[in-house]
A and B are shown apart, each in its own frame.
Chain A
Amino acid sequence: DGGITQSPKYLFRKEGQNVTLSCEQNLNHDAMYWYRQDPGQGLRLIYYSQIVNDFQKGDIAEGYSVSREKKESFPLTVTSAQKNPTAFYLCASIESGRDNYGYTFGSGTRLTVV
């Protein structure tokens, strides 16, 4: 099954803990993105990366960090500084230069703070 794989599907975090969400793609896409989905607010961009070893903050980057050491992987760390981390997190990728063909999305990770 080619595409984007996000893991885990469900994640529970205690207050003050850092957690890392995995995103792996086998589409050979250059650009990858992390979005947060909240009811009534749509999808908001957290971080994005166009190429390996480079990434940029999105609209709501505070309390999050990412790395892009390999083309196929773009993990997201939700740090203890993120005040309201409970949400559904979506990873996406796109082939550079073919932006108008739209994103491919992962199936998401639901993070809950307990």
Chain B
Amino acid sequence: AQRVTQPEKLLSVFKGAPVELKCNYSYSGSPELFWYVQYSRQRLQLLLRHISRESIKGFTADLNKGETSFHLKKPFAQEEDSAMYYCALLGTSYGKLTFGQGTILTVHP
């Protein structure tokens, strides 16, 4: 069975502070992992995917197979980063994504 866990429901930081949103997964195969973001009044959208190893809006995420983690990081948070963030794992078949519970990030001025 595949499972994604985001241990923090809420995360608050001040502008300019580093931020890390935690994501742990359970999966027997080789995982494909994603971070999705939902800004206020906008639709859920892909933020980044681990295979591309890219940085989007200053965010990065490294897949750590030893720790089964895919934490999302940004060195200097901005107020516009305030949103709901979901970590998701792609299973072996049918493009089925399993989502974590989500973390609401609030960046204070």
Kindly state whether residue B83 has any CB partner on chain A within 8 Å: no
User: Contacting chain A: which of B14-22, B64-72, B73-81, B92-100?
Assistant: B92-100
Number of CB contacts from chain A to chain B under 8 A: 58
Interface size on A, residues (CB 8 A): 26
Smallest CB separation, A3 vs chain B (Å):
9
User: Would B95 and A105 count as touching, CB distance under 8 A?
Assistant: no
Which residue of A is nearest B94, CB measured? A50
Which residue of A is nearest B95, CB measured? A99
User: Would B95 and A106 count as touching, CB distance under 8 A?
Assistant: no
Interface size on B, residues (CB 8 A): 23
Chain B residues within 8 Å of A, Cβ to Cβ: 4, 6, 9, 32, 34, 36, 43-46, 49, 51, 86, 90, 94-102
Chain A residues within 8 Å of B, Cβ to Cβ: 31, 33, 35, 40-45, 48, 50, 56, 58, 90, 92, 94, 96, 99-103, 105-108
Q: A56-B94, A105-B44 are in contact. List 19 more A-B contacts (CB 8 A).
A: A33-B96, A33-B97, A35-B99, A43-B99, A44-B99, A50-B94, A50-B95, A58-B96, A90-B44, A94-B95, A96-B95, A101-B46, A102-B36, A102-B46, A103-B46, A103-B95, A105-B45, A106-B43, A107-B43
